């Protein structure tokens, strides 16, 4: 199995387009996933009976094969980018919801009580005390969700989208390994770079966690 | 939409659909076979690695990076790649499924081992226990709940992903998904997907029940 380098250089601009489209789908899904799971996590954290229900529901969604989720959406959203993004978003929910709830759980009760004793309103406590303290755990979830989404985009190749995943079906149908290898390597690189960037973001957002080592 | 669901209902419940080599019963058995073999192989590889890393404290960096590498690896790409390299066999499917399962098991095993209280290990060593005794009689039992979590997580992912066997012309419940896609038969696709989700949930519940039955005597009331 050899790589034909000429094919890669001949298709450089196609590869760039696919990479951008790939990244776009994954990042949109994570952003949407966060938008949905943050309020849900707060609800699950505050209202105990709903917690098991919400977490259980997201676990069940996770067991549906990704290809099936995309297909399931076809009657609603058709062969569009929307189908890809919605399908991926569903997958991010499990990780994002669980981590956000765990992050909120881990906020010490004393901190919460101190905020209340100082007369801080509940919403303000949530936004300025609890969420920032939960941020490391939430960010761990965001990192997992991002890497997972980047890897999963390729499944959408079966419904005509899939970014770099198109290289896999292309290589499979033509019995030509070069596009497949290129697709795998580019996907891994994207995931690696995105993950490193998120680590940097977390470093900037949580200055208090750095002082511990000093 | 209602019609779709009623069609799906009759697809799932018709006796005809369950019988024969293309029947649900046979496809279900194939799917279970692929999933259990892959998870078992992954466990045989991943458990010793996770235990060793957790016990010695060395290679944690490897464990963490392995897990994020595993998550980033696109399963479709891996299956196609191994398929093109090795030809028509179940090998590509098993390679991809094992690659998917190993990181989840390694990281959870490692996490379980590092969560064991250092004082407990010290006490065990203080009583004159040897390294392997500490590992198998103290650390391993205490780490078991998290190890089981890793195995359950791996199994769910493998069951959901074993659909891909059908893409390279093998059986399992993915047959319905991919054949349905090719034939534009939505009911068949949904039927396959529902069955996969159901067996994933059922297997998870079985493992959870097993876990509870095995460790009933131990209560971790407060961490």
Could you report the per-residue pLDDT of A67-94, keeping only the tens digit for each? 778 877 887 888 889 999 999 999 899 8
Domain total of chain A: 1
Q: What is the mean pLDDT of chain A?
A: 90
Q: Which residues of A touch B76 (CB under 8 A)?
A: 154-155, 157, 165, 168
Q: Taking 90 as the threshold, does the pLDDT of residue A27 lie above it?
A: yes
pLDDT tier, A182 (very low <50, low <70, confident <90, very high otherwise): very high
- Chain A interface residues (partner B, CB cutoff 8 A): 1, 60, 62-69, 71-72, 74-75, 143-144, 147-148, 150-152, 154-155, 157-158, 164-165, 167-169, 171-172, 175-177, 180-181, 183-184, 187-188, 191-192, 195
* pLDDT at site B186: 85
- Note whether residue A35 is domain-resident: yes
Set of chain B residues whose Cβ sits within 8 Å of the Cβ of A64: 160, 193, 196-197
Is residue A135 situated within a structural domain?
yes
For residue B192, the chain A residues in CB contact (below 8 A) are 68
A121 CA to chain B: closest CA distance, Å? 30
pLDDT attached to residue A30 = 97
Residue numbers of the domain that contains A78:
16-206
Smallest Cα–Cα separation from A192: which of A150, A137, A139?
Answer: A150
Nearest C-alpha of chain B: how many angstroms from A42? 23
**Residues with pLDDT less than 70, chain B:** 216-223
Do B178 and A172 form a contact (C-beta atoms < 8 A)? no
CB contact under 8 A, A63 and B76: no
Q: What is the ipTM of this complex?
A: 0.83
SS3 label, residue A117: helix
Q: Using alpha carbons, select from A98, A96, A107, A97 the residue that is nearest to residue A131.
A: A107
The C-alpha of A168 sits at a distance from chain B's nearest C-alpha, in angstroms, of: 5
Q: Scanning every residue of chain B, which has its alpha carbon at the shortest distance from the alpha carbon of A155?
A: B76
User: Cβ separation of B69 and A143 shorter than 8 Å?
Assistant: no
Q: A181 contacts in B (CB within 8 Å)? A: 81
Q: Is residue A185 part of a domain?
A: yes
CB–CB contacts below 8 A, A to B: 120
CATH number at residue A88: 1.10.3720.10
Q: Is residue A7 part of a domain?
A: no
Kindly identify which residue of chain B lies nearest to residue A58, measuring between CA atoms.
B201
Alpha helices for chain B (secondary structure H)? 2-13, 15-18, 24-56, 60-72, 75-86, 91-114, 118-126, 131-133, 140-161, 174-182, 186-214
Torsion of CA A37, B68, A162, B78, to 10 degrees: -150
Is residue A182, in this structure, part of any structural domain at all? yes
Q: Would residue A129 count as lying in a domain?
A: yes
pLDDT value, residue B22: 86
The whole-number average pLDDT for the span A178-185 is: 95
The predicted structure's pLDDT at residue B222: 41
Return the residue in A19, A56, A67, A197 with the most chain B beta carbons within 10 A, the one to mutate for interface testing.
A67
Question: What tokens were used for B138?
Answer: 């103290």
| Residue B191 Cα distances to A19, A94, A159, B187, B197, angstroms | 33, 23, 18, 6, 10
pLDDT average, residue stretch A199-206? 91
- What residues have CB less than 8 Å from B22, skipping those under 6 apart? B175
% of chain A beyond a pLDDT of 90:
64
The verdict on residue A212 lying in a domain is no
In chain B, residues with a C-beta closer than 8 Å to the C-beta of A184 are 73-74, 77-78, 81
Query: What are the structural domains of chain B?
Result: 2-213 (1.10.3720.10)
């Amino acid at each position: 199995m050899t790589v034909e380098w000429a094919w890669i250089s001949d298709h450089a601009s196609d590869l760039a387009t696919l990479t951008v489209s790939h990244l776009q789908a994954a990042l949109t899904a994570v952003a949407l996933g966060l938008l949905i799971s943050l309020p849900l996590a707060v609800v699950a954290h505050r209202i105990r009976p709903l917690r098991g229900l919400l977490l259980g529901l997201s676990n069940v969604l996770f067991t549906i094969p990704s290809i099936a989720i995309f297909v399931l959406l076809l009657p609603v959203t058709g062969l569009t980018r929307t189908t890809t993004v919605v399908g991926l978003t569903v997958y991010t929910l499990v990780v994002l919801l669980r981590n956000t709830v765990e992050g909120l759980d881990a906020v010490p009760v004393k901190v919460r009580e101190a905020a209340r004793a100082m007369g801080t309103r509940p919403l303000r406590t949530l936004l300025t005390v609890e969420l920032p303290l939960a941020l490391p755990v939430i960010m761990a979830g965001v990192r997992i969700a991002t890497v997972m989404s980047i890897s999963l985009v390729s499944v959408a190749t079966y419904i005509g989208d899939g970014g770099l995943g198109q290289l896999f079906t292309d290589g499979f149908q033509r019995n030509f390994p070069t596009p497949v290898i290129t697709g795998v390597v580019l996907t891994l690189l994207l995931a690696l770079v995105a993950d490193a960037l998120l680590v940097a973001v977390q470093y900037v957002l949580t200055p208090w966690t750095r002082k511990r080592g000093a | 939409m209602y019609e779709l669901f009623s069609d799906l209902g009759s697809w799932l419940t018709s006796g005809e659909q369950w019988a024969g080599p293309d029947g649900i019963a046979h496809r279900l058995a194939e799917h279970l076979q692929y999933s259990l073999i892959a998870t078992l192989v992954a466990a045989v590889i991943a458990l010793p690695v996770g235990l060793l890393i957790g016990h010695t404290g060395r290679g944690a960096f490897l464990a963490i990076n392995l897990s994020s590498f595993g998550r980033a690896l696109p399963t479709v790409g891996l299956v196609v790649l191994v398929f093109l390299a090795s030809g028509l066999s179940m090998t590509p499917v098993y390679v991809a499924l094992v690659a998917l399962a190993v990181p989840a098991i390694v990281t959870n095993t490692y996490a379980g081992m590092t969560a064991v209280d250092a004082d407990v290990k010290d006490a065990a060593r203080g009583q004159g226990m040897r390294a392997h005794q500490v590992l198998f009689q103290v650390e391993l039992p205490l780490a078991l709940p998290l190890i089981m979590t890793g195995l359950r997580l791996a199994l769910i992912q493998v069951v959901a992903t074993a659909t891909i066997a059908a893409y390279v012309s093998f059986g399992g419940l993915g047959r319905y998904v991919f054949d349905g896609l090719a034939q534009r038969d939505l009911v068949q696709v949904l039927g396959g997907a529902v069955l996969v989700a159901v067996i994933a949930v059922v297997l998870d519940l079985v493992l959870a029940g097993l876990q509870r039955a095995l460790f009933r005597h131990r209560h971790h009331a407060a961490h």
